[in-house]
Amino acid sequence: MTNNFRRFNSRVGVVFVFQNRLIRLLSWRTPTHTLSFLAVYTLLCLDPYLLAVLPLVILLLFVMVPSFVTRHPPPPTNLSTDSYSAYGPPVAPPPTVKPVSEMSKDFFRNMRDLQNSMEDFAQIHDKVVDLVAPPTNFSNETLSSAVFLFLFVASCILFLASHLLPWRAISLLAGWAGVCAGHPSIQRQLVSTHKDHVQPRERRTQSWVSSWIDGEIKLDSGPEMREVEVFELQRRSTADEWAGWVFSPSPHDPLSPDRVTGHRPRGTRFFEDVQAPPGWEWSDKKWTLDLLSREWVEERMITGVEIEMEGERWVYDISYDDESDETEDGTTIKGKGRRMEWEEGTGLGKTGPWRRRRWILVMVTLKVYASYHLLPLYSDEKNASVDETEEARECVESFTVGTATVLEHLSTNFESSLMAVMLVLFLPLLMPLPSSLLRTDDSTSAMTLQEIARQ
C-alpha cells in the first residue's frame, strides 16, 4: 500500500495542474480565456456533431503542437519581428512526462493537494448525504412518498415529451449560467440575494409544502398481519405412550421428504423457542389449536393418515403390516408399503408411530421509527409530545442553516468546491459493483419458521 501510494503521488501532479487550469478558466482569472471557452462551448451546443472533432483538436493543439515546439525551439533573438521557422533538424530532446522524486517539492505539493481534495470530498459527501438521504430513504414515509410521486410523474412526462424539448438551447443556457455564476461579481450578488430573499421565505415554503403533503398524501399505517402455523409432533414410545418430540413447521406426514429420506423432523423442543421472524412480533401470547384438522390435511393432500374429528384433533399415521420400521431416534428404515387416502377415526385403533396437530397464531409487523426526519412537520404522528415538537423545530432550523452554509461555501470557496464536486461525479466509476444482491422471499409463514427452526 505504501509503495502504491508513493507511485501514485509522484504521478498525480498532472491532475492537479489540470484542476488549477480549469479553476482559473471557470473563475474568470483571465476573462479572454473564459470567453474563448464559452465561444467554443456555444459552437458545440449549436452543432453537436462537432463533438467528434473535439478530441482530435485537443490532441493537436495541446499535445502535438507543444511537443513540436519543444523539439524545434525558436532561435534566440532580441527582435520581436523575427518569425518562427519550423524548418531544420530538431535541436532539443523530445518532452517526456516523468514522475517526480520522492524528496522534491513537487512530491510534497502533490501530497498537500491530495489531502485537501480528500477533505473537500469528505465535506461535500457529508453535506450531500445530509441533504439527499432523509427525503429519499423513507425515514419519513410521507415526505419520501411525495418525492417518489414527483419523480415518477416527471419521469413519465420526460419519457413522452423529451423529444419536444430544445435540448441545444437548454444546454447553451445552462452552460452559460454555470460559467457566469463563477464570476466574482455574480457570486457576491447570488450570496446577497440568498440572504435577502431566499432565507426569509424558507419557513413559509416549508409550511406550505407540509400542508400540501398532509392534505394530499395519505398512507395506510395499519400493520400487516399474517397467520403462522406450527405443528406439534409426538411419537409413540416403546411403552406404547405418546411423548412430545418437536414443534415443527412441517407436519412430518408419511410422504414428506424427511420421512422418505429417513431424516429426523426439524423443529424446536419447546413452544417458547418459536420466535417471530425479524421485523415481526406476535399479536398474542397464546397459541390457538386448529380444530379444523380435515381442512389442512386436504389442503396439503396428505395421505395415509387418520384424522381425529373430536377431542384434541390429532392426526395419526395409519399403521400397515408391511410398513417401514423406525428407530428410537426418529429415523426411518426404508421398506415397502402402501398408502391410501386419509380416513376418519378416534386414534384408538392401530396407528403409526407419529401423530401431529396444528397450532396457529397471528403475527404483525413491527413499526420502526426513524432516527431523524428531514421535515418533522410532515410526520403523521398527531399526538407528539412537547419535547418532540421542539426537536422537530431544531431539525428544521439546522436544515435551513445547513442549506445556506452549503450555498455560501459553493459561492465563496469556488476552487475547492469544484474539485470536490468532480471527485463526487467520478468516484462511482471507480467503485466495484456488488457481487450479489439481497433477495426477499414472499413464501408462506411456515417456510419462515422452518428457517428459524434450523437455526
Find, among 68, 74, 59, the residue nearest to 94 by Cα. Answer: 68
Q: What is the pLDDT of residue 64?
A: 92
Nearest CA to 360 out of 295, 306, 303 is that of 295
- Residue 293: predicted pLDDT: 86
CA distances from 331 to 33, 236, 237, 263 (A): 86, 13, 14, 5
- Compute mean pLDDT per 10 residues along the chain, 455 residues long, and list them: 88 91 93 95 94 93 90 75 74 87 91 93 94 89 89 95 94 95 91 86 84 78 84 86 88 86 87 86 88 87 84 83 51 45 54 88 77 39 43 46 44 45 40 36 38 40
DSSP 192-232: HHIIIIIGGGHHHHHHHHHHHHHHH-----PPPEEEEEEEE
Report the b/e string of 396-432 with b at 16+ CB within 10 A.
Answer: beebeeebbebbebbbeebbbbbbbebbeeeeeeeee
Q: String of b and e for 303-327 (b: at least 16 CB within 10 Å)?
A: ebbbbbeeeebbbbbbebeebeebe
- Residue 429: its pLDDT value, please? 38
8-state DSSP, 95: P
Beta bridge partners of residue 228, listed in sequence order: 361
Q: Tell me the pTM.
A: 0.55
Residue with cell 463563477: 182
Q: How many angstroms separate the CA atoms of 207 and 378, rounded?
A: 9
Evaluate whether 378 touches 213 at the Cβ level (below 8 Å).
yes
Angle between helices 31-46 and 167-180 (to 10 degrees): 170
Round to whole Å and give the CA distance between 147 and 442: 27
Cα separation, 227 vs 361, whole angstroms: 6
Residue 113 has what pLDDT? 93
